[in-house]
């Protein structure tokens, strides 16, 4: 009988090769499962029992970070999901172990997401007014984030040689899934002006800039995060803004203007529509107007 470490290694290779998961996903699953094996002390798959899983979950719930804070429920769920998927793999291979159906996922409160009001978004997009390369780049980055709903990692991986006039391009998202993204007219203009200012031959669409706007190579996500936060403060937006807030605003803007949920799912690159549904409650602000207009009109 294969020992647990061998089976975990086989599973991680299966994720990468057969399921086409990213290296990051493989590494995360490897880390979660290593913690499970370490905390439970299991040696072989039949050691994975309901009692072992119960003790593991209790240990996660009591685990504290470097500053004494308890592990968040959402983080605990990552470990449990990894374990359950590993058990599904073992069942597929007819390896005797606990049935994955025996594991219930923790109940997570609906995630609260922040979006920008449309007026705030307009101020943010208008904040970079200069004609130098850095200002033009910053403007193009902000316009592209809102126009496409790209994740910051996807934005950083874009190459400059695309047909901007066509207004659409293919992006490789999570799990190596391909989807189409679209450029608005304002974004096309911003990209063209930025690229016209570039005199380098770097293949990256968005680059890091050093002193005197010297091109240093492809921009990294942390630099985009700093750019968005800095631009938000310049635009008079007091709350902390992350590039993902522009993705949230992209989704809610589509829904508020009548887009159906399935289309928004495709545009965001969500594997499951349940992920997209977190945005629907944000669009219910229209219900306030319905209530105000039509409720209790017969009352004196």
* Given 21, 26, 137, 247, the catalytic residue: 247
151 among known catalytic residues: yes
Q: What does the domain layout of the chain look like in residue ranges?
A: 4-102, 118-287
User: Which residues, 6+ apart, have CB-to-CB distance to 144 below 8 Å?
Assistant: 150, 155, 158, 183, 187, 190, 191
Whole-structure pTM value: 0.66
CB atoms within 10 A of CB 142: 26
Give pLDDT < 50 ranges for the chain: 1, 299-300
247 flagged as catalytic: yes
61-93 pLDDT per residue, tens: 898 877 888 888 888 889 999 999 999 999 999
The CATH number of 4-102 is 1.10.150
256 closest CA partner among 78, 116, 47: 116
Q: What is the pLDDT of residue 52?
A: 93
244 is catalytic: yes
Query: What integer pLDDT is reported at residue 287 of this predicted model?
Result: 56
Asked if 24 is an active-site residue, the reply is no
pLDDT for res 300: 47
Q: Catalytic residue among 21, 57, 139, 151, which?
A: 151
Closest CA to 209 of 126, 141, 125, 152: 141
In this predicted structure, what is the pLDDT of residue 275? Answer: 78
- Which residue is catalytic, options 84, 137, 248, 270? 270
Of 79, 89, 194, 279, catalytic: 279
Beta strand 178-182 pairing with 207-209: unpaired
Question: Tell me, what's the pLDDT at 169?
Answer: 94
CATH class of the domain defined by 118-287? mainly alpha
Active site residue: 63, 174, 218, 234, which one?
174
pLDDT of residue 113: 67
């Amino acid at each position: 009988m294969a020992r647990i470490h061998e089976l975990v290694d086989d599973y991680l290779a299966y994720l990468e090769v057969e399921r086409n998961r990213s290296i990051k996903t493989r590494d995360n699953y490897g880390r979660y499962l290593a913690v499970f094996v370490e905390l439970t002390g299991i040696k072989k798959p039949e050691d994975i029992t309901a009692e072992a899983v119960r003790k593991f979950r209790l240990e996660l719930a009591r685990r504290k970070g470097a500053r004494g804070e308890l592990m968040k429920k959402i983080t605990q769920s990552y470990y449990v999901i990894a374990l359950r998927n590993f058990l599904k793999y073992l069942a597929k291979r007819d390896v005797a172990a606990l049935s994955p159906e025996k594991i219930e996922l923790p109940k997570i409160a609906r995630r609260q997401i922040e979006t920008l009001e449309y007026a705030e978004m307009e101020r943010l997009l208008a904040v970079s007014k200069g004609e130098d390369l850095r200002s033009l780049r910053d403007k193009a980055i902000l316009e592209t984030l809102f126009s496409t709903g790209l994740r910051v990692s996807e934005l950083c991986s874009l190459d400059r040689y695309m047909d901007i006039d066509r207004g659409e391009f293919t992006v490789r998202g999570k799990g190596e899934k391909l989807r189409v993204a679209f450029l608005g007219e304002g974004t096309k203009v911003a990209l063209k002006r930025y690229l016209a200012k570039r005199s380098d031959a770097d293949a990256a669409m968005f680059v890091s800039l050093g002193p005197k706007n010297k091109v240093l190579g492809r921009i990294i996500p942390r630099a985009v995060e700093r750019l968005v936060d800095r631009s938000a403060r310049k635009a008079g937006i007091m709350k902390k803004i992350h590039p993902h807030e522009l993705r949230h605003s992209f989704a809610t803007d589509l829904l508020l203007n009548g887009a159906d949920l399935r289309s928004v799912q495709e545009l965001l690159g969500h594997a499951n529509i349940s992920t997209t549904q977190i945005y629907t409650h944000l669009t219910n602000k229209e219900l306030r107007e319905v209530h105000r207009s039509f409720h209790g009109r017969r009352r004196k």
